[in-house]
Chains A and B, each alone.
Chain A
Amino acid sequence: MNLRMTLATTTRVLGQLRHDHRSVALILVVPALLLTAVYFLFENETLPPGFPRTFDRVGLMMLAIFPFVVMFLVTSITMLRERTSGTLERLLTTPIHKADLLFGYALAFSIMAALQSLVATAVAYWVFDLDIKGSPGFVVMIAVINAVLGVALGLLCSAFARTEFQAVQFMPVVVIPQILLCGLFVARDEMNEVLEAISGVLPLTFSVDALKEIAGNADATATMWQDALIMGGIVLGVLVLASLTLRRQTR
């Protein structure tokens, strides 16, 4: 690992994004707009007194899911371009370490994800009065971990796609099962055993669990930290797998 090369990679990836105003705008604005839609979707629901709004539950989870989905897509396409344009092969003839490249990517997109979730969380918190007991800072933290998870999975999946078209097709495979099973639609303890077992090993489940902890407790709980730690472990594991797909030599 070489900090200079890692940071150069981060700067380069952010530089590529900076020239692409439309993508930056989409990354920053779309989650906040969708959140607005969700708010108005449940605007007229009638609730028994003391019962939490659906928006408080769904909106909160969406704050974690957006960065995951967006960063997965952005990363898998960017990395695929790197693989197909020859720049990856060229980079791997230089002294750069694979970890520099992967962490450079992860850092660049985490910065984007942090900005994205700051905008979305601010909108949810101040405009729509998102009602959570814990600190919104922890919500942003979980969102960023989710984004890095998206980056790691995107880097890995780009190895199995030859075209951008194929890369996009990985979204239904990698992302949608996690959204279905994370506890957003059906609480995990109401699922049948098979689905519950699968949901228990999917990374997004841990972040939804962490968000529930943040929503229900004024202070950070041990469960939340444990969830965050497990997520971090999964991210590192996926990054190691992704590094195995970067080969300096081809057959």
Chain B
Amino acid sequence: MINIKINGQPIQAEPGKTILQVAKEHDVHIPSLCYHKDLNPTGNCRMCVVDVKGGRTLQAACVTPVWEGMEIETNTEKVMQDRKLTLELMLANHPQDCLTCDVAGDCELQDLAYEYKAEVPAWGAKGTRYAVDSDPNPFIRVDMNKCILCRRCESACAEIQVRDVWGVSSRGFDSVMVAGAGVPMLEARCESCGQCVAYCPTGALSNKMNYGVARAHQVRKVTTTCSYCGVGCQFDLQVKDNKVIGVHSNPNAPVNGMALCVKGRYGYDYIHHPDRLVKPKVRRYLLEGKQKSDIRETIFDTRKSNIELSNVGSPWAWVETEWDKALDIVAKKVAETRAKFGADSMGFLTSAKCLNEENYLMNKLARQVIGTNNIDHCARL
């Protein structure tokens, strides 16, 4: 351990850690933009500057390691002025559309501008420099006018997804983030995982599917487990008006942290698809007391079209019923089949998409109620 001072307070710090890390551990607030704890620090935004005694200039806390005897001031007038100027330089080149911006309220630049009372300078750039919503990727909305060149997207793609889609093109004021060599993201081999969006501190990269639908303070978050593959990623469903409108990374997710894949992050809209089954349905013949054996030849006659079969009058047409009716039909048929042909004449396919608790009940239904071990699911398929 080494001895340092932050704002006059003596602190024991672990050698090798950065000023920002040590300050965080001791609840000393240093603002940052390009820094994110998951990513390698790049020190390029200069928001985290601090005054180190003996230093020629202010130092970026995210990339400066602590040393024995180091004395750091985090909030002197000079430091505060410098950070404010940094913010003003960013705002001078940033659209003033917080009123309509999708990420207002969930924007690190906005929060810092508020904290530092940074105004848009009169000498700022006028008008937009890049096309808004410039990339055809169906999930990710790109608006480089809002980019502050923190390069978190580049780091997230390289260090989390390890796909290297993002990079910087040009120099100086013309610097801009590009996918590949300035091509659409998918052409730059983007996997649409949305990691860049999750780490973007502004509205430069946002989610296209729910653009303009809700802001951060208007949604309820529900932490849950993904319904696609066996990795078991967790994330926060964004809920507004009884609708899942998005999926956000939850940094505390045990398996995946902030990482998600395209299906987990963007494949959620099936939940509210109009095709969803909303009423129990039974075939008409069941309501008319007929036997399937009497009508089988007609219904599976391939010469008949589906439309004809689903005609209201057809014995094979679906009829919506109440739960009671449908459940009674099922229970009676199941009991009859068991009585007539024995327990092993029945098969149960449970579901690898359903809950543990539901799978347990299917096992109990087959074994306790019916008395058969004819139960399986798609593990083999």
A and B are interacting partners? no
A residues whose Cβ falls under 8 Å from a Cβ of B = none
